[in-house]
Amino acid sequence: MSCENAYFGGWGSCAALLENMNGAALQKKGNTFTDATALSTATWRVAIADVLSTVRDTLALPILSFENTTDDVEILTSPLGKKSIGNKPIPSGVVYLDASLCDYKQLHSLEDTWFEFVPFFQGNTYWLSRKSDGTLKGFRCKLGTKAGLPPEDKNQSFPMYIFFDSYSEFEDVVVVNPDFGFSDIMDYSPAAIDVLITTAYTAGAVTVKCTKRGTGDPVTTLIAADFEVMKSNAEPTVVVTAADVTGAALGVYVLTIKKDNDGTPANLAAGDYAVLQAHDDDATYVTYLSHAFKVVGA
């Protein structure tokens, strides 16, 4: 820390207190905006629901409330009783999600990974930080979730703890004033598919049941290409080569999953695995998206 010359500025004509947070977005580390794209709804829609998984990098977080858990500033007192600021703690907080247990349990896997956090506020504003190259980004953070019995206050059923990485990112917050609010961002989010593996992987195939989260209604319109292999220890050769849709009216699909390391397709062997995600789309944007599910070879 060093002292600098003080250059006093003026005061604006607006004196508005900070508004309540009414939503948030979680983005993969390194995501950036320009001043123009930060104002564009198209930017957000692509980030949340693009048909390509390599492009989708954002999760909208509906929240019931936000609690600031940042530690108090350290106040040092000299032997003569003079006070000064010592440590300035890095901000932290907890958002209580407006979700269900089916949604929340899929978030435990996000722990200990770096993300960019974008808070949205009442009045249709949101905050970003500015990088040295002039681009904008969210606030770097790690997440924490909590499994266990329900709390006494139902509004705190699904906490997500936010541990930020930098104090300086908050010293010069950029307030974005778009023509849209968080509800528009949330509307871009695809509806969720629950995938249940009903039979073990045998002879190259596995049976799954796909239903709409929240209603249990069957998802009836999927094809083989809608089951994307996200990663595999036999990658990049593992693909869903076919989907038997005989039971699609009930949401039941028999997926043929093969690996091909030498031009000859083969079944997954013991020790092989593939992580898949199912989706439905309108050819441009994803309309339904499942959690990730793991198929293990035999």
Q: How many domains does the chain have?
A: 2
Name, in order, each residue with C-beta under 8 angstroms of 45's C-beta and a sequence gap of 6 or more. 188, 285
pLDDT tens profile 221-277: 999 999 999 999 987 789 999 999 999 999 999 999 999 877 889 999 999 999 999
Please tell me the least confidently modeled range out of 14-18, 144-148, 206-210. Answer: 14-18
Same domain for 100 and 233? no
3-state secondary structure at position 161 = strand
274 within some domain: yes
Same domain for 291 and 173? no
Q: What span, in angstroms and rounded, lies between the C-alpha atoms of 9 and 24? A: 32
Name, in order, each residue with C-beta under 8 angstroms of 180's C-beta and a sequence gap of 6 or more. 41, 44, 124
Same domain for 72 and 166? yes
Could you list the residue range(s) of the whole structural domain that residue 285 is in?
191-296
Q: What span, in angstroms and rounded, lies between the C-alpha atoms of 129 and 90? A: 15
Residue finishing a domain among 187, 218, 249: 187
* Beta pairing partners, 283: none
273 within some domain: yes
8 within some domain: no
Q: What span, in angstroms and rounded, lies between the C-alpha atoms of 70 and 72? A: 7
Mean pLDDT along residues 199-220: 96
In 3D space, the residue among 54, 58, 103 whose CA is nearest the CA of residue 228 turns out to be 54
pLDDT tens profile 153-178: 999 999 999 999 999 999 989 999 99
pLDDT over 90 (residue 1): no
pLDDT tens profile 33-42: 999 999 999 9
pTM of the model: 0.91
CB atoms within 10 A of CB 130: 15
pLDDT over 60 (residue 85): yes
Name, in order, each residue with C-beta under 8 angstroms of 133's C-beta and a sequence gap of 6 or more. none
